[in-house]
Structure 1
């Protein structure tokens, strides 16, 4: 009998160790490699949609305290730092309140002069190439009832992506010139008329606030479907977005 009890206790302890090891591995992966995020708003349409689930590459730019669980303040600045590229889609901590995660496209590097004139993005006084590229209509709460004009931008780095411009004369379509300070970045949403970004209250984003680069959409649900509503998945799953690379 004693041998059976000891055997059961040994088996239980082995199971506990496996669970602890799995949890530690998950924490390491989430902290050092990839972290899942859900897109909560339409500010990055049409690139990212509400209901997209993405993996963020956390070693793209190195690590700061915001890379750690609970944002543990163990060191200052970034370690193993790598410079982000203009055109990257970046997850970062909202400068006025670092408890909040934001996702936008990086359009301005340190020292750049950024301005929007008549809906055209200017980088260092050079217009970013912008051509009409069809129309877009959301399949969720952001459906305006009519298609929204799409414009494809191409940066000098060769990065190309679609943007939305529903209202050509909105306050974000003509801005002052912003000079990006050293150690900071300028972010904009691809949904140009519906994005709180560096043109407004986000301001310049410190390098320390960068979490990582959005890399892939691994799951996507339309029609404002909750992840828990499994019975709605077959009808509302966006099959064409599964494992789509974020560009």
Structure 2
């Protein structure tokens, strides 16, 4: 069990619900009518906060959860300081805190941007792009992908100009990669060393990589992501704030992710 924000939301919902509901039961047992003006202060707070924390818990657990991008590993798709929304139900409905799936829905597709619990430390959330599906054979050599023997096409878009906290990415090669029908931008740093090899994706697992290929700690280094570690699919940038650049970046707000 992870003692994260969802855990504390669940505890707050339980405690406030028990206090408020328990008070109402006591009044009913006494044959008394609820009087808002004479309720104890603790019950007043519980009654006020219970619906709020319950709604937040339900929204974060089953609808969408906000995340902030802290690193450059998904540049140029996601910049440091982007605030994103993650669809929590697209890969199935899971119970909060224990993360047990109770309703099967969709499965991740190649090219999806996913948030997941880092397999080496499940208390930490990572965000990467799905490259390999269960059963796939993924090869990465000379900074190029091959999936099940098929080379993945890359088209140069020139040199990348970074801004703000991502300014040190300036000069990297900016490429448009066609991931078997899913086009997205990636960055490559010429001369940089990165892990290479052939990887076979086990059943129930996914091979993920960052779009900033030479600045990403991903499946090339620590293996695949088990299905039960998935949190959801990133789909929307609702805010972007980089204190080293120009504060709020209005151009990125409202961007749909792909």
TM-score bracket for this pair, using the shorter chain length:
0.7 to 0.9
The offset of 1:118, in angstroms, is 1.4
Relative distance call for 1:223 and 1:167 in structure 2 (3 A) is: farther
Q: Which of residues 201, 206, 222 is equivalent to 1:185?
A: 206
Question: More deviation in 29-38 or 14-23?
Answer: 14-23
The offset of 1:133, in angstroms, is 1.4
Question: More deviation in 162-171 or 177-186?
Answer: 162-171
Q: Does 1:9 align with 2:32?
A: no
Give yes or no for contact 2:208–2:224 (8 Å, CA) kept in 1. yes
Give yes or no for contact 1:217–1:244 (8 Å, CA) kept in 2. yes
What CA distance in whole angstroms lies between the structure 2 residues aligned with 1:144 and 1:24? 43
Relative distance call for 1:168 and 1:238 in structure 2 (3 A) is: same
Indicate the RMSD between aligned Cα atoms, in angstroms. Answer: 2.2
Query: Where do residues 93-132 of structure 1 align in structure 2 (5 Å cutoff)?
Result: 93-132=117-156
Q: Write 1 or 2 for the structure with the bigger share of helix.
A: 2
Relative distance call for 1:94 and 1:145 in structure 2 (3 A) is: closer
The offset of 1:168, in angstroms, is 4.5
Question: More deviation in 36-45 or 9-18?
Answer: 9-18
Aligned residue-pair number = 223
Q: Does 1:208 align with 2:232?
A: no
Q: Does 1:72 align with 2:98?
A: yes
Give yes or no for contact 1:63–1:211 (8 Å, CA) kept in 2. no
Give yes or no for contact 2:159–2:170 (8 Å, CA) kept in 1. no
User: Secondary structure in 1 aligned to 2:164?
Assistant: coil
What CA distance in whole angstroms lies between the structure 1 residues aligned with 2:38 and 2:56? 26
Give yes or no for contact 1:64–1:209 (8 Å, CA) kept in 2. no
Give yes or no for contact 2:135–2:201 (8 Å, CA) kept in 1. yes
Give yes or no for contact 1:151–1:163 (8 Å, CA) kept in 2. yes
Q: Who is 2:20 aligned against?
A: none
The offset of 1:147, in angstroms, is 2.8
Unpaired runs of at least 5, structure 1: 1-5, 226-234
Relative distance call for 1:213 and 1:101 in structure 2 (3 A) is: same
Relative distance call for 1:51 and 1:221 in structure 2 (3 A) is: same
Q: Which of residues 147, 152, 159 is equivalent to 2:176?
A: 152
TM-score w.r.t. length of structure 2: 0.79
Instruction: Give the structure with higher Rg (CA).
Output: 2
TM-score w.r.t. length of structure 1: 0.83
Q: Which of residues 36, 57, 67 is equivalent to 1:37?
A: 67
Relative distance call for 1:7 and 1:169 in structure 2 (3 A) is: closer
The offset of 1:120, in angstroms, is 1.1
What CA distance in whole angstroms lies between the structure 2 residues aligned with 1:46 and 1:30? 27
Give yes or no for contact 1:220–1:241 (8 Å, CA) kept in 2. yes
